[in-house]
Chains A and B, each alone.
Chain A
């Protein structure tokens, strides 16, 4: 009994301490408003890096290729919805929109399915799997938006750190994938579906293991 009283006293003194420490705080903006600057700056940065690396020669022809446009659109949907989901997840209750991550997860599942379909039709084209040029480009495109996204997210408080890392990874991977498709002319499944994506998946898995530390609060 005495222990309970002590604990209640502790709670009372904790409340007193927390109330004393209170400082004015501005509520976080609406998730869309919060993520918009990141999306715009990342898109601008991506465009700059693509120009820096060099745009693929056949981009005008490719802009009329339905399958190319489908893949770019799907990657855009994955990236944008994952970034929005990350922003919503900054609030502990996900702003009462717990279904939001499912949009990008479903889009990513469609992308995976599409890659498998392409693989079954085209084969993996082993001769086109070479890791020498797209890794640097991918790292260059991904690293700054990834750091900016993590810093933005850390202003909020997430209650789903692992899912948050998954959404961050999808947001940045989608962005880097689009940029690499504009810069690299190799469109085979082995190259665009494996070489360009695998480093982001591996980074995402590593960050996933560290998620609770990364977003601890």
Chain B
């Protein structure tokens, strides 16, 4: 076992490995140090890959709880970081899966101030989103559907064409023409 007292001589991974081993033996102080040291590492690892930075803290907490639950699966013979990273990736994927599956069932309106505050990137532009939403009502269902899928939701042309049983070029042309007309309406 690496000596925890000589912190300076150890790499970060060796130090965490030693803390984890001590934690498995019931050393609460080492465990607290381990969790305190890995928390910023977890946050730094995930924050760049999340659409909403606020999720980082939620996921960090879930990873810390996972470390606690699965401490017995860590073997001090192996490096600590790959084990921790596996937990981070698992909990991040789990969090995003739950979030987006829940979001799929939620419907809201752009008139909802809470939604705008939370999800519209630039709240000052919220009125423009509402204008776009209104202007789209001037179009046929098909045009609106294609435009929404391609230009707003960002689906691939190929997927939309397959879903609507149309050719890819017809989808492209429809989305482009709707965009042109929309520009005219909003000018």
Contact = CB atoms under 8 A, between A and B. Distances in A.
A109 interface: no
Contacts of A107: none
Interface in A10-41: 10-11, 14-16, 18-28
A92 B26 contact: no
Q: How large is the interface on B (under 10, 10 to 19, 20 to 34, 35 or more residues)?
A: 35 or more
B28 to A, nearest CB: 5
B78 A24 contact: no
A137 interface: no
B26 A28 contact: no
A23 B29 CA distance: 12
Q: How large is the interface on A (under 10, 10 to 19, 20 to 34, 35 or more residues)?
A: 20 to 34
Contacts of A15: 32, 35-36, 39, 64
Contact of B60 (A11, A21, A91): A11
A157 B74 CA distance: 10
A92 B24 contact: no
A24 B74 CA distance: 13
B65 A14 contact: yes
B12 interface: no
A10 B39 CA distance: 12
Contacts of B78: 93, 95-96
Contact of A159 (B60, B65, B76, B87): B87
A159 B90 CA distance: 6
A11 B71 contact: no
Contact of A92 (B25, B35, B64, B70): B70
A11 B70 contact: no
Contacts of A217: 66, 69-70
B75 A27 contact: yes
A7 interface: yes
Given A22-B28, A27-B24, A92 B39 contact: no
Interface in A76-96: 90-96
B68 to A, nearest CB: 5
Given A18-B31, A93-B85, A157 B57 contact: no
Given A11-B61, A217-B70, A93 B24 contact: no
Given A4-B57, A28-B73, 9 more contacts: A8-B57, A11-B64, A22-B23, A22-B28, A25-B72, A26-B72, A27-B73, A92-B66, A93-B85
Across chains A and B, which 8 residue pairs bring their CB atoms closest together, nearest first? A159-B90, A157-B70, A93-B86, A19-B32, A24-B26, A7-B57, A92-B86, A25-B72
27 contacts: A4-B57, A10-B57, A11-B39, A18-B35, A18-B64, A18-B68, A19-B29, A19-B31, A22-B28, A22-B68, A24-B25, A25-B24, A25-B71, A25-B72, A26-B24, A26-B72, A90-B73, A91-B83, A92-B83, A93-B82, A93-B83, A94-B86, A95-B78, A157-B69, A159-B87, A159-B89, A217-B66
Interface of B: 23-26, 28-29, 31-32, 35-36, 39, 54, 57, 60-61, 64-66, 68-76, 78-79, 82-83, 85-87, 89-90
